Amino acid sequence: MTPTLLDHAALVAIVASSLIEWRWSWPRFTRALASGVPGARMRVYRNIAIAEWAMTFYIGWLWIVRGRPWIALGIGSVTPLRTGFGAALAVIIVALLWFQRRAILAKAKRIERLRERLAFASSLIPHTSAEHLAFSWVSITAGICEEFVFRGFLMWYFAVWTGPLPAALISSAIFGFGHIYLGLGQVPRTALVGLIFAAIVLATGSLWPAIVIHAAVDLNSGDLGFRALSGAPAGPDASAAPA
């Protein structure tokens, strides 16, 4: 399967959207937030979800009209051994995230350190209960759509010419660049996260474990950020623990 003009257009759109967000959408949002414009953060959540689902549906449409096998995107049946490995890996990582959350919320000093680490993303992190709920849906969207686009489509796109390992590196670099709006320092960090997700997809032969883990990571980060930055109660387990 050789990429067509429509596939090239998708690649251009993915990179261009990152540039537009970095140079225009994000500065506009932060100015609106600083000016106290009502609903600014909720509109950003909505726009993120619309953009990611639009690209996902576009790629899905390409696969349907071209009659391409879904396994090329990491969606489809794989061997029972790889399926079991992927499921076990997802369960283990989700469990580790849950224990991490409990450990952080159990100590006031850990929450304070988390608040300092998340300062770079304070504009994006939910500050109200309504934003918290909306961010949860954005987290699920990111888990599905970003894996579909970056570890599914882009890895397939570049692997046609480079093979799977270089494709994983290139798609991870583009994934990191997609988060440049949060600051240049976040590009290599996010690229490394993307490379980990790519390794999971290559090891399991499927997007599903990476989708579950990605969504869980974002849900956990959003919830921890909400509690750290908004001062929301940590819950009965955490409040009963010593500081």
Q: What is the pLDDT of residues 49-70, one digit of tens each?
A: 999 999 999 999 999 999 999 9
Averaged pLDDT, 189-211: 97
Question: For residue 238, what pLDDT is reported?
Answer: 43
pLDDT for 231 equals 63
186: confidence class by pLDDT, cuts 50, 70, 90: very high
Question: Under a CB-based contact definition with an 8 Å cutoff, are residues 92 and 204 in contact?
Answer: no
pLDDT of 233 reads 52
C-alpha–C-alpha distance, residues 127 and 118, integer Å: 13
Is the pLDDT at 148 greater than 80, yes or no?
yes
Read off the pLDDT of residues 62-92 as tens digits, 9 standing for 90 and up: 999 999 999 999 998 889 999 999 999 999 9
Phi then psi dihedrals of residue 115, to 5 deg: -60, -40
- CA 141 from chain center: how many Å? 8
pLDDT value, residue 203: 95
Q: Please report, as a single letter, which amino acid is at residue 191.
A: A
How far apart are the C-alpha atoms of 203 and 215, rounded to whole Å?
19
Q: Where are the domains of the chain?
A: 5-239
CA 16 to centroid of chain Cα atoms? 18
Helix ranges (H only) for the chain are 5-20, 26-34, 40-66, 80-105, 108-117, 129-146, 155-162, 164-177, 186-204, 208-230, 236-239
pLDDT of residue 232: 56
Mean pLDDT over residues 184-201, rounded? 96
| More confident call, 167 vs 243 | 167
- Report how far residue 145's alpha carbon sits from residue 55's, in angstroms, rounded to the nearest whole number: 8
Structure token digits, residue 225? 């950020």
Q: Write the single-letter amino acid at 100.
A: Q
CB atoms within 10 A of CB 212: 21
Predicted model pTM:
0.92
Q: What is the mean pLDDT of residues 104-120?
A: 88
pLDDT average, residue stretch 15-43: 96
**Is pLDDT larger for residue 141 or for residue 119?**
141
| High-pLDDT (> 70) share of the chain, % | 95
Question: Identity (one letter) of the amino acid at 183?
Answer: G
Q: Tokens in use for 154?
A: 């882009």
Instruction: Please give the pLDDT value at position 29.
Output: 96
Taking a C-beta distance cutoff of 8 angstroms, is the pair 229, 121 a contact? no
